[in-house]
């Protein structure tokens, strides 16, 4: 069922309930439904409808309008330069092949943390079919206000907004991941969707009303979960990918277990998934998604090949090859991120004439000392994993989805860390 029809149903049942807020702009369900009806594009089913600009409410209205027309909406990040957006869209088809036959109705960008963002297209059912399971995990009901920071161009954000609207909740949008915007919206929120590195900022703000934080996209440390528990905030952490949707979830700190109706299989340490929530594929250029003939798919993520909860080890194609050893950056980052004072860290490989690459750590954090990082590295990392170069930056670049923009880190004006 299109999300647009869910909005229409809520508009009929509770027309005066607030559907969405952005700053001082408010739309009730009746107003949102009318605006989406008026904005419905005059296109054939399956047409790609890029949404290039406007504030988040305008983009959300456009997404619903295109959904209602049977088209495939694609929200662009408003922060992109015009020429960058044009280059991305020029590479895409005007109509999605087999969109009607496969019920293809939603498209979104990958985060682009390691390069050019790709467009992933999916069926309605691959999202809406998982709404019930998501509701059981998050506890979101029509009585809640759900804070959804970030641009609607990314899968995490768009899904969070669509799920909240389908539940009849109030969606609170910020349009970006900036800390001031997040803090300003928190006092009104019962639930927040975010990436793990923003959970610390949420906890620092000490929101009294917040009940649940839903964190996806990267590993969540036990220290953050413990801080949230002390503040009376439940944390639902999950692992997924734009191409795979939900894969595994940890609602209680016991570790990642398969999401509802998802099968997970490790093949030589590589995560393969079979589920109803998989994306259909890419528009334009392809990407890391691979499938086999039995319905299994992977994007190349790695995990410990051992019984028990899923322990992720990053993306295989991001590995650092140093002196014959293979180092997964996320393994090193998890250790260094736990050092007091570290606000963010990216580990990458730098060229070396003898070793091929050496491990380098680029750190953000006032007052953090190299000695403390080296002590943690010696205690918890192998010799090959320990960084040989230590750099510090004022602020790590991040994608609109809140992930470190790895492709940009190497070009930053970093300083040696002392």
The Cα-based distances of 56 to 3, 22, 101, 151, 161 in angstroms read 17, 7, 30, 7, 11
Cα–Cα distance, 8 to 116 (Å, whole number):
36
Coil, helix or strand at residue 408: helix
The predicted pLDDT at position 13 comes to: 97
Q: What pTM was computed for the model?
A: 0.83
* Residue-level pLDDT, tens digit, the chain, 418 residues: 579 999 999 999 999 999 999 999 999 999 999 999 999 999 998 999 999 878 999 999 999 999 999 999 999 988 888 887 888 898 898 888 888 778 888 899 886 444 467 899 999 999 899 999 999 999 999 999 999 998 898 888 999 999 999 999 999 999 988 889 999 999 999 999 998 878 888 999 999 999 999 998 666 778 889 999 999 999 999 999 889 999 999 999 999 999 999 999 999 999 999 999 999 999 987 888 999 999 999 999 889 888 899 988 777 767 787 876 778 888 898 889 889 989 889 999 888 876 778 999 999 988 899 999 999 999 888 888 999 999 999 988 887 667 777 778 877 888 889 8
Domain spanning 319-416: which CATH class is it, in words?
alpha beta
The predicted pLDDT at position 147 comes to: 98
Domain coordinates of the chain in residue numbers? 3-303, 319-416
The predicted pLDDT at position 191 comes to: 98
Using one digit for the tens of pLDDT, what is the confidence trace for 37-80?
Answer: 999 999 998 999 999 878 999 999 999 999 999 999 999 988 88
The predicted pLDDT at position 114 comes to: 44
The predicted pLDDT at position 121 comes to: 94
The predicted pLDDT at position 409 comes to: 84
User: Quick one: 353 exposed, middle or buried, by C-beta within 10 A (0-12, 13-18, 19+)?
Assistant: exposed
Torsion of CA 124, 126, 132, 137, to 10 degrees: -140
Question: What's the CATH architecture for 3-303?
Answer: 3-Layer(aba) Sandwich (3.40)
DSSP assignment of 197-240: HHHHHHHHT--SS--EEEEESS---HHHHHHHHHTT-EEEEEEE
Cα–Cα distance, 148 to 160 (Å, whole number):
7
Element (H, E) at 320: strand 320-322
C-beta contacts of 83-87 below 8 A and 24+ residues apart: 85/52
Lateral strand order in the sheet of 170-173: 25-28, 18-22, 170-173, 145-148, 191-194, 212-216, 234-241, 245-250, 257-258
The predicted pLDDT at position 141 comes to: 97
Place of tokens 């682009």: 112
């Amino acid at each position: 069922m299109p999300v647009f029809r869910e909005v229409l149903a809520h508009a009929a049942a509770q027309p005066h309930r607030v559907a969405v807020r952005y700053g001082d702009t408010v739309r009730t369900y009746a107003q949102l439904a009318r605006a989406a009806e008026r904005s419905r594009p005059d296109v054939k089913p399956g047409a790609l409808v890029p949404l290039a600009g406007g504030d988040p409410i305008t983009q959300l209205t456009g997404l619903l309008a295109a959904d209602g027309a049977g088209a495939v909406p694609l929200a662009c990040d408003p922060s992109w330069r015009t020429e960058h957006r044009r280059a991305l869209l020029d590479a895409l088809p005007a109509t999605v092949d087999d969109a009607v036959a496969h019920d293809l109705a939603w498209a979104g960008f990958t985060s682009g943390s390691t390069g050019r963002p790709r467009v992933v297209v999916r069926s309605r059912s691959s999202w809406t079919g998982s709404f019930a399971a998501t509701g059981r995990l998050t506890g979101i009901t029509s009585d809640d206000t759900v804070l959804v920071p970030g641009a609607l161009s990314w899968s995490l954000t768009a899904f969070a907004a669509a799920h909240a609207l389908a539940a009849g909740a109030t969606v609170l949008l910020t349009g970006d991941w900036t800390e001031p915007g997040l803090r300003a919206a928190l006092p009104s929120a019962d639930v927040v969707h975010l990436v793990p590195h923003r959970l610390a900022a949420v906890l620092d703000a000490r929101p009294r009303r917040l009940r649940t934080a839903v964190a996806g996209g990267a590993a969540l440390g036990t220290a953050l979960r413990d801080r949230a528990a002390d503040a009376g905030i439940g944390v639902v952490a999950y692992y997924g990918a734009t191409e795979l949707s939900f894969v595994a979830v940890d609602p209680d700190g016991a570790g990642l277990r398969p999401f509802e109706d998802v099968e997970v299989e490790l093949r030589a340490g590589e995560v393969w998934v079979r589920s109803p929530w998989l994306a259909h594929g890419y528009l334009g250029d392809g990407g890391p998604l691979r499938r086999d003939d039995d319905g299994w798919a992977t994007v190349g993520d790695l995990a410990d090949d051992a019984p028990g909860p899923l322990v992720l080890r990053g993306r295989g194609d991001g590995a650092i090859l140093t002196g014959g050893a293979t180092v997964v950056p996320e393994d090193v980052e998890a250790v260094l991120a736990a050092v007091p004072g570290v606000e963010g860290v990216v580990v990458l490989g730098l060229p070396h004439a003898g070793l091929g690459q050496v491990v380098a750590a680029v750190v953000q954090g006032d007052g953090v000392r190299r000695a403390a990082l080296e002590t943690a590295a010696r205690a918890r990392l192998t010799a090959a994993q320990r960084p040989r170069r230590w750099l510090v930056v004022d602020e790590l670049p991040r994608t609109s989805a809140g992930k470190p923009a790895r492709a940009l880190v190497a070009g930053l004006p970093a300083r040696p860390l002392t």
